[in-house]
Chain A
Amino acid sequence: MAETHSLQDMRQQAAVAAKVFIQRDYTNGTVCQFQTKFPSELETRIDKQQFEETVRTLNNLYAEAEKLGSQSYIEGCLACLTAYTIFLCMETHYEKVLKKIAKYIQEQNDKIYAPRGLLLTDPIERGLRVIEIAIFEDRSLTR
């Protein structure tokens, strides 16, 4: 994909000035949620609203993945009855949502973050512990 190539090129050619880590928010238990607190390092680069919007959407997507609803129960029971062999051919609901999340992050990077010299890393690549935001030096923007 052209966009990823350009992002990766930028990443390789530009220097990373700093990295900001958005940590997990455990106030509602072990569900995957990230803190919406706006980090001070990003103040000069991006709007607080936009950032919070991104994190909130990600939180909603993760909540959807881990939701205990009828769909997940049916999937769980079906899996149990087939002695869990069904996972070999079927993609789980969680995996489907993770793909959605990856697409969303890609989109956000392309539209909002890359033009501002920032790069979001998909939390799944960091073990769902943090959202890593790489801040590139300003000279990369003049490329």
Chain B
Amino acid sequence: MKNCEYQQIDPRALSVSPASAQNHAEKKEQRPVRKWEVFPGKNRFFCDGRIILARQSGVLPMTLGLIVVTCGLFFAFDCPFLVEHLTVFIPVIGVMLFGFVVVSLLRTSFTDPGILPRATPDEAADIEKQIDTSGSSTYRPPPRTKEILINQQVVKLKYCFTCKMFRPPRTSHCSLCDNCVERFDHHCPWVGNCVGKRNYRFFYSFIISLSFLTSFIFGCVVTHITLRCQAGKSLVQAIQQSPASVVEVVICFFSIWSILGLSGFHTYLVASNLTTNEDIKGSWSSKRGAEDSGNPYSHNSIITNCCATLCGPMPPSLIDRRGFLPSDQAIPSASEIELPPFVAKNDTHMCTQSTKDVLEMMVHASDFNSLCPAGTPKTAPLGLEASSAEPPSTEPSSPAGCSQHHTCQSVAASWPPFSKRSKRDSLHSINPAFRLASPSPPLSRTSMISGHEPEFGFIPPL
């Protein structure tokens, strides 16, 4: 399993002399680490953990750009004419809609969608134990599903091998973000984030307001061109006088179809308290007799469903991005991921260094020593993979000069539980369960790789 075999290597300590490495370690120990810095999922954090985004958020600037450009053209070229000939309320409404759209979009993109933190090693071990005791005496991997009754309906809970827990109902694991997200709707590339329990209402208000905005702009631009034509000019002349309008019309025309369609679809989902994920999979459709009878989460009333989904209480973020790691978990030894060019060459070095770091921190050495050799081969390919995936040039140098600290700490101890374990006497009792719980090596390798690579996302580009 990841936690057992993963070795934490400090590339900083490798590249510098032992004395300064020691200083470095001391400095790092003193600096409190925020939890977002060691977050295991593929997310990016900005503003010291206040803002969260998916790792591949490349389309978000495009979405924003498209909206800003279209509205900019509208205000610059169409509004003056319309204010003159119609009413001053047109730009006012336009500004209000534009503001609403942008705020909703940013809220959707930057809000934690309802990410479930991964199970601590103790929890994972406990689940394994429960499964084991109910089955045969020899170890077998945990069953993939568990059946429970929800509102007198049988629902299957799946076991998530990455997060090491049975997923709560309506939760799904997003492979792009590598997180389990509650009430997972879908991963929206336009918004650059998953859409889940916590940001669904923002997403819905974004698409609804965007539909209004595009329709409004489309209508206004058509009115503008029509008015110009009515003033005695031909269509071509009117267009020549205001070429931006054509651009706007084209953009809006194509957007309207998709956005209105999406809004309609999501209105249907909200009214029946479904998620896109459930609808696509047809989780409840086979059981449909009367309307909504198959869905155990529905309140059986459209209004209640709408209110519950859109105006219900706002659940808190479960990942506590800005909380500090308890000091006993802030191990100075860092991930093998960041700045890896030299990582590949120094595997054995890294192994001994990491063991040394770990020995300094923990109570029982023996288990870790035995873990170390097992861990070595895995870190090498990971280091290579990581180095090929992202060149060190993408490393930002933060003004505070702390980027090195960040990168060293990030993912860190990947898994604070790892370090936490090191301090407890109960290590011995937990370890055997742990080893037992590790999936077969190929599986662990792939899960490690998929889990590790994106740690790059951690580096906050400042």
Q: Smallest CB-CB separation from A94: which chain B residue?
A: B313
Decide if B314 touches A30 in the complex (CB within 8 Å): no
Ordered by A's residue number, 14 sampled pairs between the chains whose C-beta atoms are within 8 Å are A16-B424, A24-B168, A26-B169, A27-B150, A28-B150, A30-B168, A75-B311, A79-B314, A83-B100, A92-B313, A93-B313, A124-B320, A126-B120, A127-B319
Decide if A87 touches B314 in the complex (CB within 8 Å): yes
Query: Is B103 on the interface with A (CB-CB < 8 A)?
Result: yes
Per the 8 Å Cβ criterion, residues 14-57 of A in contact with B are: 15-21, 24, 26-30
Given contacts A27-B150, A80-B310, 8 further A-B pairs with CB under 8 A are: A26-B155, A30-B183, A67-B313, A72-B313, A87-B314, A94-B314, A126-B120, A127-B116
Query: Is B249 on the interface with A (CB-CB < 8 A)?
Result: no
Interface of A (DSSP majority class): mixed
Nearest CB in chain B: distance from A7 CB, A: 14
A75 to B165, CA, bound (A): 33
Those 3 A-B pairs whose CB atoms lie nearest each other, nearest first: A76-B311, A127-B117, A83-B103
Query: Is B68 on the interface with A (CB-CB < 8 A)?
Result: no
Decide if A28 touches B314 in the complex (CB within 8 Å): no
Nearest CB in chain B: distance from A31 CB, A: 10
Measured between beta carbons, the chain A residues less than 8 angstroms from B205 are 80, 83-84
Nearest CB in chain A: distance from B48 CB, A: 16
Measured between beta carbons, the chain A residues less than 8 angstroms from B117 are 126-127
Decide if A132 touches B123 in the complex (CB within 8 Å): yes
Decide if A19 touches B150 in the complex (CB within 8 Å): no
Nearest CB in chain A: distance from B101 CB, A: 9
- Given the interface pairs A16-B426, A24-B168, the reply to whether A68 lies near B103 with Cβ below 8 Å is no
Decide if A83 touches B426 in the complex (CB within 8 Å): no
- Given the interface pairs A65-B313, A68-B307, A124-B316, the reply to whether A19 lies near B297 with Cβ below 8 Å is no
Question: B: which residues have CB within 8 A of A?
Answer: 99-100, 103-104, 107, 116-117, 119-120, 122-123, 126-127, 148-151, 155, 157, 165, 168-170, 182-183, 201-202, 205, 296-297, 304, 307-308, 310-316, 318-320, 424-426, 429
Measured between beta carbons, the chain A residues less than 8 angstroms from B183 are 30
A18 to B116, CA, bound (A): 24
- Given the interface pairs A28-B151, A73-B311, A132-B123, the reply to whether A94 lies near B316 with Cβ below 8 Å is yes
Per the 8 Å Cβ criterion, residues 89-115 of A in contact with B are: 92-95, 98
- Given the interface pairs A94-B315, A98-B316, the reply to whether A80 lies near B201 with Cβ below 8 Å is yes
Total CB contacts across the A-B interface at under 8 A: 114
Nearest CB in chain B: distance from A48 CB, A: 20
Measured between beta carbons, the chain A residues less than 8 angstroms from B429 are 18
- Given the interface pairs A66-B313, A73-B307, the reply to whether A27 lies near B148 with Cβ below 8 Å is yes
Nearest CB in chain B: distance from A60 CB, A: 15
Query: Is A85 on the interface with B (CB-CB < 8 A)?
Result: yes
Decide if A76 touches B310 in the complex (CB within 8 Å): yes
Nearest CB in chain B: distance from A2 CB, A: 19
Decide if A124 touches B150 in the complex (CB within 8 Å): no
Measured between beta carbons, the chain A residues less than 8 angstroms from B149 are 27
Decide if B99 touches A75 in the complex (CB within 8 Å): no
Q: Smallest CB-CB separation from B107: which chain A residue?
A: A84
